[in-house]
Amino acid sequence: MKRTNTFAKRLVVVCLCLLLTPALFAAGPKAGGKAFRVGVSLSNFSNPVIQVIMNGIKERGNYYGLDMIILDGKEDTVEQTAHLDNFIQQKVDLIILNPSMPDPMLPAIQRVNKAGIPLVVLDKKVWKRGTNVTWAALVDWDMPYSGVIGADQVAKAVNNNGKVVVVEGTPGTSSFIDRAGGFYTQLKKYPNVKVLDKVQGNFLRDKGMEVTQDILAKYPKGSFDVIYYMSDEMALGGLQAIKSSGRLGEFKIVSVDGNHEIIDAMKRGEVDYECMFFPEQEAVCVDVAWDILNGTFKKSRQYEWKGREIPWSTDDHEGLPWVRATCYWVDKSNMNEPDFKGF
């Protein structure tokens, strides 16, 4: 009887070890080290792109065993300012900031700098504006290049000769500044492609629908050849308005981001061109944060996300390091490739 009990106990121990083994192998490099505390302020939890990035941040944070405090900025700089001040009070080891608007955050960033807490800027650029603010690294998409691709796609859509209406994003945001800069600069290479009108959709679906309704009311059939949306959220709202008006197919539609709804619309023949990012790649900000916290952050490391390399920018932003995720041209020729199913 005693031998049976001993065997049973050993069997339980073996089973427990087998159950725990996958967890041990899945653990990140934190094992035995300090559990760093990281404060993360994201611009808006309701934004689909931010949702994808946030899921990636949680995944990488768990991998490294980081104590992550992730807060919703609700597209409110006052809210995000409070986040940063609270992180300072909590004496976190590092802060990741995805600002809804950059300039209003400068005073709070100065306080972060004064507290000696490393800062990683995520997804939207911050400009110094003559202040002495600093950050350890920027992790952001190659927004200017997405604008370049958009201009090339518009030109191709109209065979280098036609009129385009542009639905822009939120003025003052880095996403708008960089994407618009890349788009309008590249469009100059196509002198016969003219911008008929520019309207602001603020990167929002409902606003995209509203301004598209105004465009369709203002311009009768044949007035323009293509609408270029500076984000998929605006394009999805615009597509609703276009369908409701019965004018689908009258002109080409070009958009940017990589939302699966747009890819699905492309497969239905409703959208013509898309410039796609992989938003989850920006969760590499946690890998960058880990290196900063451990004093191993340097340009010699090649970052990647699930096998896809994320390059360094050839030009550091404001003289500080920029880890830059790139973007890809998608149209009817490659829309069915597994990589381009959208987020």
Using the predicted structure, report yes or no on whether residue 297 has a pLDDT greater than 90.
yes
Between strands 94-97 and 119-122, the pairing is parallel
Q: How far is CA 141 from the centre of its chain?
A: 7
pLDDT in tens, 114-129: 999 999 999 999 999 9
The answer to whether 78 and 105 have CB atoms below 8 angstroms apart is: no
Residue 71 has a pLDDT of: 98
Core vs surface per residue 164-176: b (16+ CB within 10 A) or e: bbbbbbbeebbbb
Asked if residue 8 belongs to a domain, the reply is no
Asked if residue 31 belongs to a domain, the reply is no
Radius of gyration of the chain (CA): 24
How many Å apart are CA 157 and CA 52, to the nearest integer?
30
- Indicate whether 307 and 234 sit together in one domain: no
| H or E element at residue 290 | helix 285-293
Q: Which domain holds residue 103?
A: 37-135+279-325
pLDDT in tens, 71-123: 999 999 999 999 999 999 999 999 999 999 999 999 999 999 999 999 999 99
- Indicate whether 272 and 312 sit together in one domain: no
The answer to whether 183 and 208 have CB atoms below 8 angstroms apart is: no
The answer to whether 223 and 163 have CB atoms below 8 angstroms apart is: yes
- Indicate whether 122 and 261 sit together in one domain: no
- Please give the backbone phi and psi of residue 27, each rounded to the nearest 5 degrees, phi first: -65, 145
* Number of domains into which the chain is organized: 2
Asked if residue 198 belongs to a domain, the reply is yes
**pLDDT, greater one: 87 or 310:** 87
pLDDT in tens, 23-75: 333 445 554 467 899 999 999 999 888 999 999 999 999 999 999 999 999 99
Asked if residue 90 belongs to a domain, the reply is yes
- Indicate whether 215 and 336 sit together in one domain: yes
CB atoms within 10 A of CB 178: 21
Residue 195 has a pLDDT of: 98
- Indicate whether 296 and 195 sit together in one domain: no
pLDDT in tens, 126-170: 999 999 999 999 999 899 999 999 999 999 999 999 999 999 999
Residue 43 has a pLDDT of: 96
Using the predicted structure, report yes or no on whether residue 2 has a pLDDT greater than 50.
no
Using the predicted structure, report yes or no on whether residue 10 has a pLDDT greater than 50.
no
Residue 28 has a pLDDT of: 53
Asked if residue 64 belongs to a domain, the reply is yes
Asked if residue 190 belongs to a domain, the reply is yes
The answer to whether 119 and 111 have CB atoms below 8 angstroms apart is: no
Q: What is the mean pLDDT of residues 192-209?
A: 97
Mean pLDDT of the chain: 90
Q: Is 199 helix (H, G, I), strand (E, B) or coil?
A: strand
- Indicate whether 170 and 263 sit together in one domain: yes
The closest alpha carbon to 232, from 149, 325, 167, 157, belongs to: 167
Asked if residue 114 belongs to a domain, the reply is yes
**pLDDT, greater one: 277 or 313:** 277
The answer to whether 313 and 324 have CB atoms below 8 angstroms apart is: yes
Residue 57 has a pLDDT of: 98
Residue 30 has a pLDDT of: 52
- Indicate whether 257 and 304 sit together in one domain: no
Asked if residue 25 belongs to a domain, the reply is no
CATH number, domain containing residue 183: 3.40.50.2300
- Indicate whether 311 and 229 sit together in one domain: no
- Indicate whether 83 and 167 sit together in one domain: no
**pLDDT, greater one: 100 or 174:** 100
- Indicate whether 81 and 156 sit together in one domain: no
Q: How confident is the model at residue 270 (pLDDT cuts 50, 70, 90)?
A: very high
- Indicate whether 313 and 250 sit together in one domain: no
- Indicate whether 78 and 112 sit together in one domain: yes
Using the predicted structure, report yes or no on whether residue 264 has a pLDDT greater than 60.
yes
Max CA separation in the chain (angstroms): 93
Question: Position of tokens 């946690």?
Answer: 286
